[in-house]
A = this chain, B = another copy of it.
């Protein structure tokens, strides 16, 4: 495992997560010196001055120090500083920072879906029920939510699992999507997919026979997983996606990874991200069947991160939910424990800031489910704004309703534009010297492999950065483009990647790719 761990945790820092306490200190220094917080320059001196503090790096949760979250890491902090410098009139070779580091649709110019905002506005200001500005189907949807709220106010706490009518709508949506019935009592609304994923991982934290719980995650992965596993002090069990097979999933690699992990931990769950983040692949039906059978044989809880289920661009790809495939397979697979996560932040809504999402919890022991529901009750409830957004996600306007045409047109526009951009990014990157990029079949990202010349690797080493982080920092400083180095997601040792979103609107994306091309040519010239 230690090989994987070292690859995964260093976003720019040549550091490793070392679990033995006496080694922790070394990592602390590495992590802090690379955290991008400029106030730390005279670290040692400051430390002496501040020895009266209750909280110091040496006496806080050590996992806070070792965990990393690259999507908002040092590069992004630097990007924010550059934005401020630009605003103060500092001269740069560019006029603006292009934030291609995070799947933040509206920030990159995507427009909200009108009906969602209308329903939300009515829910928060029910006076608008009387306004001719809003269509009847928006009002009807708002009323359904308001009737589910205590005192008909979104200002009331809801059940910890969310408002009953919205949970029922989610169940109906899943039933229609899969052709297998979903039980509304298995639906738990969340604040984005994040709180659901964190809640489930927390439940899996358990030491048995002196071994910690292990969580199997893809490499590359979305760093919420690595960060949470680290924060909770669990063991990360990485399995590599096969880049040469379009980031497909080899069961033989799952087996290898599991066998190795069993020596040091109790593997308990298998996380799948489909469509993939950061890799953009869409799993085939056949691949999903293999994964389900593997999880069943190995008694692993299946965690299906399916937040990009509406983001499919490849004409030969189709989204198959893990639940549907498990149900189709029949016994014993249809009684396997499976949790699927969904979000209003992705798809065609892109409502990241609202924080809406849900999880469907299938076949869980009722006694265990009761403990899970109890555990989330102390956080009271997910935001009602997010619950409203989920409501519109799963119950959009239907043919014949006043908002249908507009909704359809907006949705089609967002998804076809994303499809166009997915192709543009894929094709453009493959035209760069030393770039190898798989097609973006789904999700919102490209994850190209780049060849970094030995001279650049040497320069990175001198700079105390991984080569891919070095490349990303150079790109940011010279062009204003903010991407995330592959080391933040994990990659095969000796390979270098980065993740970019496909979210800048087409015009801006073209400019970004041109700038990128120029930077890359100059970088290659400099270090070849």
Contacts and interface: CB of A to CB of B under 8 A. Distances in A.
Those 3 A-B pairs whose CB atoms lie nearest each other, nearest first: A107-B150, A385-B385, A106-B153
A151 B109 contact: yes
B378 A228 contact: yes
A168 B527 CA distance: 44
Contacts of A62: 206
Interface of A: 32, 35, 37, 39-40, 43, 46, 50, 52-57, 59-62, 64-65, 67-69, 72, 80, 99, 102, 104-110, 112, 117-118, 120-121, 124-125, 127-128, 131, 133, 149-151, 153-160, 191-192, 194-195, 198, 202-206, 208, 223-224, 227-228, 231, 268-269, 299-301, 332, 337, 349-355, 363-368, 370-372, 374-375, 377-386
Contacts of A351: 155
Q: How many copies does the complex hold?
A: 2
A61 B205 contact: yes
B128 A57 contact: no
A31 to B, nearest CB: 9
A125 B228 CA distance: 34
B59 A383 contact: no
A8 B67 CA distance: 33
B104 A353 contact: no
Contacts of A37: 366-367, 370
A99 B61 CA distance: 38
Which of A37, A55, A195 has the most chain B CB atoms inside 10 A of its CB? Answer: A55
Contacts of A204: 55, 60-61
Nearest to A65: B371
Given A43-B367, A353-B156, A368-B55, A206 B120 contact: no
B54 A353 contact: no
Q: Which of A120, A223, A299 has the most CB of B within 10 A?
A: A120
Given A125-B120, A379-B198, A353 B50 contact: no
A57 B153 contact: no
8 contacts: A35-B374, A37-B370, A55-B204, A57-B365, A64-B374, A108-B151, A157-B352, A383-B386
A379 B153 contact: no
Nearest to A102: B157
A112 B155 contact: yes
B155 A354 contact: yes
Contact of A32 (B52, B363, B370): B370
Contacts of A107: 150-151, 153, 156-157
B104 A72 contact: no
B106 A150 contact: yes
Nearest to A103: B157
